[in-house]
Amino acid sequence: MVRSLIIGCGHYLPEKVVTNHDLSAVLDTSHEWIVERTGIHKRHFAADGELTSDLATAAAWDALKSAGLTPQDIDLIIVATVTPDQTFPSTATIVQSKLGCRGLAFDVSAACSGYILALSTADHYLRLGSMKRALIIGAETFSRIIDPQDRKTYVLFGDGAGAVILRAENNPGNRGILSTSMHSDGSYRDLLYTDGGPSLTGTAGYIRMLGREVFKHAITKLVDSALETLAHKNIAAEELDWLVPHQANIRIIEAIAERLNLSPDRVVITVAEHANTSAASIPLALCKGVSDGRIQPGHLILHEAIGGGFVWGSALIRW
């Protein structure tokens, strides 16, 4: 039986840090409001001229180093992003050229759930035997699509990139990606979207969101998705070592952990440090948990995320 193993992870956060206090100097908001409603303390913004592909490439090099591989070892690159450098070519092909390698490279667009979609897509390629080693990157420059006049969204997002390397393994034992589930329902597309696009306006547009509605759907859909993914493998939520969720809002994360009966010390939380980095947030949190030694070989990890569309899903992994 072939399974996909995660054999390395990497991250990159732009140098510029923007605190809640910085934002309250230019917007009608406060550090206290942002922390109480979201758990966010600061975020990173890319420098002028620093592109999504730059963030993605830096995270990719970090992941390659941790896996002990070179770009030539990779035959599949998938970048999850909704803030590509250009409408086309895909950011993945730009990363491919920056790394100097060949194979197949493409982007997936599923907003905040993009990383799990990219992971599950690569997992299918690897298990079918057509690819051997995949580089999966979640990378975003949301600072370019948040409206500086809109306090309801501007305070919530940041820039960053996280990456993992997957290897197809013939005798994985009990390790690897055990199960994934993805769903979408376009009837919710007016709850979280950008008000522009190449075909609609010829611009990228700004994020628009009905926060309360998104909040409610996020909790119910993500709990259902987590239980579905666990049920595929007949595993109870209590058996999880770590929930490594999408980092949008501390209250959403805590509500999901509570419904899954997981204590807060089994959840990797990074939202305070870099806000919602969309597709980058799960690999950033994963890297944090691995590098600080919390996530150990044999641990059972659950990822979950929801994003504009809605598209949502989860992935169960034995590290």
Ligand X SMILES: CC(C)(COP(=O)(O)OP(=O)(O)OC[C@H]1O[C@@H](n2cnc3c(N)ncnc32)[C@H](O)[C@@H]1OP(=O)(O)O)[C@@H](O)C(=O)NCCC(=O)NCCS
Which positions are catalytic?
112, 246, 276
- Judged by CB under 6 A, the residue of 307, 311, 312, 316 near ligand X is 307
Please count the other Cβ atoms lying within 10 Å of the Cβ belonging to residue 258: 13
Q: Does 116 bind ligand X (CB under 6 A)?
A: no
Identify residues 177-236 at the interface with ligand X (CB under 6 A): 209, 211-212, 214-215, 218
- Judged by CB under 6 A, the residue of 152, 189, 232, 233 near ligand X is 152
Instruction: Tell me whether residue 66 or residue 276 sits nearer to ligand X (CB atom).
Output: 276
Collect all residues with Cβ–Cβ distance below 8 Å to 264 and sequence separation of at least 6. Answer: 254, 257
- The helix, strand and coil proportions of the chain, stated in percent and rounded to the nearest 5, come to 40, 25, 35
CA gap 23, 33 in Å, rounded: 12
Q: Does 306 bind ligand X (CB under 6 A)?
A: yes
- Judged by CB under 6 A, the residue of 126, 155, 163, 166 near ligand X is 155
Q: Does 61 bind ligand X (CB under 6 A)?
A: no
Residue 132 CB, nearest distance to ligand X (Å)?
32
No. of H helices and E strands in the chain? 10, 13
The answer to whether 42 and 276 are in contact (CB under 8 A) is: no
Residue 112 CB, nearest distance to ligand X (Å)?
4
74-82, 139-147, 166-174, 247-255 -> range binding ligand X (CB under 6 A) = 247-255
DSSP string, 229-281: HHHHTT--GGG-SEE----S-HHHHHHHHHHTT--GGGB---HHHH-B-GGGH
Question: Which residues contact ligand X (rule: CB under 6 A)?
Answer: 29, 33, 37-38, 112, 151-152, 155, 209, 211-212, 214-215, 218, 248-249, 252, 276, 306-307
